[in-house]
Structure 1
Amino acid sequence: MTRLNKDQLKQTLLRSLDEEIEAAISAATQAQQTAAHEDNKPENQYDTLSLEAAYLAHGQSERILELQQQRIRLAKWDVPAFDDDDEIACGALIQLCHPQQGERWLWLTLLAGGRRLLWQGNAVTVVSSDAPLAQLVLHKGVGDDIRWQGMDGWEITQLQ
């Protein structure tokens, strides 16, 4: 049985968020510079490049704030441990197996879902606990089957 260290996995997730925050800061800076650049001052009422860049910069700033808040919450999160006889809840690291599709690792987290992390040679999909996929597995346990990706036969084979 493969055992993954969730504290180290959490650090990988935090680094992923840091990279996304840095990319968003860079995009916001570029949009702000475009909005304020002398060459982009409107020449008439229909020239909206500067205005569009300002809206983009504002949107990027909101995204940065959202990502920073997610990072703070995740950094403070004590990731719970699970055993194979527990019920799946937020914090669970789950292995799903399908006879034709192979195995998939899912990690149910508070937020920051939709990411794919590579950890100890395993691709781990981060799933927010309010996502539809999380709702499929919550309160289930090892040995239970779910219907996922339009296919029956996905078995929960590990819980950590």
Structure 2
Amino acid sequence: MDKFLLQQQVLARLAEDLLQVEQAARAAHETATHEENIAENKYDTLGLEAAYLATGQARRAEAIHQAMTHWRQFRPRPYDTSKGIQLGALVCLVDADDRQQQLFLGPDGGSMQLVNGAQLVQVISGEAPLGRALLGKCEGDEVSIQVASIRQQFEVLWVR
């Protein structure tokens, strides 16, 4: 599995997300500044609500810009058994029910699924609970995380 290809897919997805957020921000700004939405009394808040929405969308766009910058600068390295799992690792986990999942640890803007051939690859950051639990682990190691009241356990099947 080509990590460079996965990185390019992440950047393409982030670019799509950015386009959508920028369009939503423009629409919210237009609504906020439209002359028909000038408040006529203290209960007329459509313009104010649209302004808050536009501000939130602008912040989201900035976060996506930062994620894109981090992913462009990111250079995944080959797996080094002496360091264990690091950012850039492609990891296959197996749970107690023998379900496998593949993860690509990235610098930022994770939580997206990519399709690579017939495989789904979940992108997570090193800051995610599972990402933090994986850092430094090696093939064959056990990893467990607590999600709400449920403890999830995995074995690291392979790392690339």
Q: TM-score, normalised by structure 1?
A: 0.90
- SS at 1:155's partner residue? strand
- SS at 2:26's partner residue? helix
Residue 36 (structure 1) aligned with residue 33 (structure 2): yes
The number of residues matched between the two structures is: 156
Amino acid at match of 1:146: V
5+ residue gaps in structure 1?
none
CA distance in 1, matches of 2:130, 2:34: 45
Deviates more, 1:83-92 or 1:67-76: 83-92
What percentage of aligned pairs have identical amino acids? 33
Cα deviation per residue 1:120-159 (whole Å; 9 max; x = unaligned)? Answer: 221111111111111211111001122256343x211111
Residue 55 (structure 1) aligned with residue 66 (structure 2): no
5+ residue gaps in structure 2?
none
Structure 1 pair 151–69 and aligned structure 2 pair: CA distance change class (3 A) = closer
Deviation at 1:83, TM superposition (A): 5.5
Q: TM-score, normalised by structure 2?
A: 0.90
Residue 98 (structure 1) aligned with residue 81 (structure 2): no
Spell out the pairing of 1:50-89 with structure 2 (5 A cutoff).
50-82=47-79, 87-89=84-86
Deviation at 1:69, TM superposition (A): 1.5
Contact 1:95/1:106 (<8 A) preserved? yes
Cα deviation per residue 1:39-83 (whole Å; 9 max; x = unaligned)? Answer: 211111221110110111111111111111210121121111115
Cα deviation per residue 1:74-106 (whole Å; 9 max; x = unaligned)? Answer: 112111111567511111110011352411001
CA distance in 1, matches of 2:39, 2:26: 20
- Structure 1 ranges of 4+ moved more than 4 A: 83-86
CA distance in 2, matches of 1:55, 1:99: 45
Q: Which residue is equivalent to 1:112? A: 109
Q: Which residue is equivalent to 2:158? A: 158
CA distance in 2, matches of 1:51, 1:126: 36
Amino acid at match of 1:51: L
Amino acid at match of 1:155: E
CA distance in 2, matches of 1:128, 1:16: 15
Q: Which residue is equivalent to 2:9? A: 12
Aligned-residue Cα RMSD (Å) equals: 1.7
CA distance in 2, matches of 1:114, 1:151: 18
Cα deviation per residue 1:6-32 (whole Å; 9 max; x = unaligned)? Answer: 000000000110111011011101101
